[in-house]
């Protein structure tokens, strides 16, 4: 089966611009998660979707971040406007049930 796919793999944008990251989960996985790793820090939870509903968005840093999962399939994470501290690697993961996480390769975002 195809794994979790993330687009783009790298993105370099200027401060103040908008960036949209996309995640295609494994087909049939209702649970979709976004995590972020800032350089040298831990991988931090951002939010959790169950189908199209936000189950837990307690990790979203601020209102410049907007995640959507229309139709319960792929998800997008938009950062608008981007700030320097948003740089990092954004990971998406999906699972059929609790514990069976499969991570994507991540999107490395650099804000300059």
Partner 1 sequence: GQQLNQSPQSMFIQEGEDVSMNCTSSSIFNTWLWYKQDPGEGPVLLIALYKAGELTSNGRLTAQFGITRKDSFLNISASIPSDVGIYFCAGRLSGGSNYKLTFGKGTLLTVNP
**Which residues bind to partner 1, rule: CB under 8 A?**
4, 9, 31, 33, 35, 40-45, 48, 50, 55-56, 58-59, 91, 93, 95, 98-99, 101, 103-106
- Sheet with 19-24: strands ordered across: 5-7, 19-24, 75-79, 65-68
Asked if residues 70 and 17 have their Cβ atoms less than 8 Å apart, the reply is no
Residue closer to partner 1, measured from CB, 94 or 111: 94
Alpha-carbon span 21 to 10, nearest angstrom:
10
> What's the Cα-to-Cα distance from 50 to each of 45, 93, 96, rounded to whole Å?
15, 12, 10
Q: How far is the CB of 112 from partner 1 (least distance, A)?
A: 21
Residue closer to partner 1, measured from CB, 4 or 79: 4
Q: How far is the CB of 15 from partner 1 (least distance, A)?
A: 25
Q: How far is the CB of 106 from partner 1 (least distance, A)?
A: 5
């Amino acid at each position: 089966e195809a794994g979790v796919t993330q687009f783009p793999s790298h993105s370099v944008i200027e401060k103040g611009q908008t960036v949209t990251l996309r995640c295609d989960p494994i087909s049939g996985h209702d649970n979709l998660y976004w995590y972020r790793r800032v350089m040298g820090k831990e991988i931090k939870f951002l939010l959790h979707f169950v189908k199209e509903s936000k189950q837990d968005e307690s990790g979203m840093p601020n209102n410049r971040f907007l995640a959507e999962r229309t139709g319960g399939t792929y998800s997008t994470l938009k950062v608008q406007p981007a700030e320097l501290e948003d740089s990092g690697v954004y990971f998406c993961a999906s699972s059929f049930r609790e514990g069976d996480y499969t991570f994507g390769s991540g999107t490395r975002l650099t804000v300059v």
